A and B are shown apart, each in its own frame.
Chain A
Amino acid sequence: MSHSRVEPDSGSVYRTPRWVKAIGIIALTVIVLVAVVLFTDVGGEHGPGRHLLSGEGGDTAAIDSAVQHIAPIEHSTQQP
């Protein structure tokens, strides 16, 4: 972020710049997509809860999920 100069915008009537509107539309689209991923099964085991630590061991929901995945794999490899 270089702050070497300031070029004040001129004009007597306030207008939101077009590039800001474009970024706003893109941001809104991304928010909707993230909401869809979080609140539906599209994203699988994903969401803010994935990052929450539970218990003193520091295990996370994602790790639990991984362990759940691991269990059947190990089970199947141990039983030929």
Chain B
Amino acid sequence: MTMTPVLRKFALAVHITSSVGWIGAVAAYLALDVTAATSQDAQMLRAAWIAMGLIAGTIIVPLALTSFLTGLVMSLGTAWGLFRHYWVLISFVLTIIAMSILLLETPLISRIADIAADPTTSTAELRALPNTLLHSVGGTLLLIVIQVLNIYKPRGLTPYGWRKQQEQRTVRQIVDAVT
């Protein structure tokens, strides 16, 4: 299944926009997460958590899903394939890991954001809220690795890709010999 050039360009544009947007949104989230982990000021903590809830639920999750789906379409709809090249396969696996952790983490973030938004929540309670630094730092690193792989596209076929390539070569040689 190969996409037409127009469709491929469109999918690529959406994929790049959502992927880079995902990294940008996570960077913004990370800044707020650091604030939530280090600040002792009640207003700052409240504001940071409310913003983190909004960014995670309304920006990061949609961008991550779009990036994942367009990546899938791009790999399956072009000659790259999903399992033929290591850089595509590794990017795919890392994206699934990043997305799974994100989807598991989002309900927790919005629950904490709700607690922070509650005017009855005291300063002591706000200070005791757990941070998500481990996930946001890990997620940022993972997304950077994926981005670097996608830009450099290091050479290397998977055993499946190599077998397919050998099959195509054999077919080409037979066709050349016949013609």
Interface residues of chain A, those whose CB is within 8 Å of chain B, are 1-3, 6-9, 14, 16-17, 19-20, 23, 43, 45-46, 48, 50-51, 53, 58-60, 62-63, 65-66, 69-70, 73-74, 77
Q: Count the B residues whose beta carbon is within 8 Å of the partner chain — how many?
A: 40
Complex alpha-carbon distance, A14 and B160, angstroms: 10
Contact among B16, B124, B155, B162 with A77 in the assembled complex (CB-CB below 8 Å): B124
Q: A1-B74, A9-B157, A16-B156 are in contact. List 15 more A-B contacts (CB 8 A).
A: A1-B15, A2-B150, A3-B74, A3-B78, A14-B157, A46-B134, A50-B108, A51-B105, A51-B107, A63-B108, A70-B122, A73-B125, A73-B128, A74-B125, A77-B124
Q: Within 8 Å CB of A2, what residues of B?
A: 12, 16, 150-151, 153
Interface residues of chain B, those whose CB is within 8 Å of chain A, are 8, 12, 15-16, 19, 71, 74-75, 78-80, 86, 88, 90-91, 104-105, 107-108, 111-112, 115, 122, 124-125, 127-130, 134, 150-151, 153-157, 159, 162, 165
Complex alpha-carbon distance, A71 and B165, angstroms: 64
Closest A residue, CB atoms, query B15? A1
Complex alpha-carbon distance, A18 and B154, angstroms: 10
From B79, B86, B108, B127, name the one whose CB has the most chain A CB atoms within 10 angstroms: B108
CB pair B111–A63 under 8 Å, yes or no, is yes
Contact among A1, A14, A23, A51 with B71 in the assembled complex (CB-CB below 8 Å): A1
Q: Within 8 Å CB of A45, what residues of B?
A: 130
Complex alpha-carbon distance, A67 and B39, angstroms: 19
Contact among A43, A63, A69 with B112 in the assembled complex (CB-CB below 8 Å): A63
A-B contact pairs, 30 of them (CB 8 A): A1-B16, A1-B74, A1-B88, A2-B16, A3-B12, A3-B78, A3-B80, A6-B80, A9-B162, A9-B165, A14-B162, A16-B156, A17-B86, A17-B154, A19-B154, A20-B86, A20-B156, A23-B90, A51-B107, A62-B112, A62-B130, A63-B111, A63-B115, A65-B130, A66-B112, A66-B125, A66-B130, A70-B124, A73-B127, A77-B124
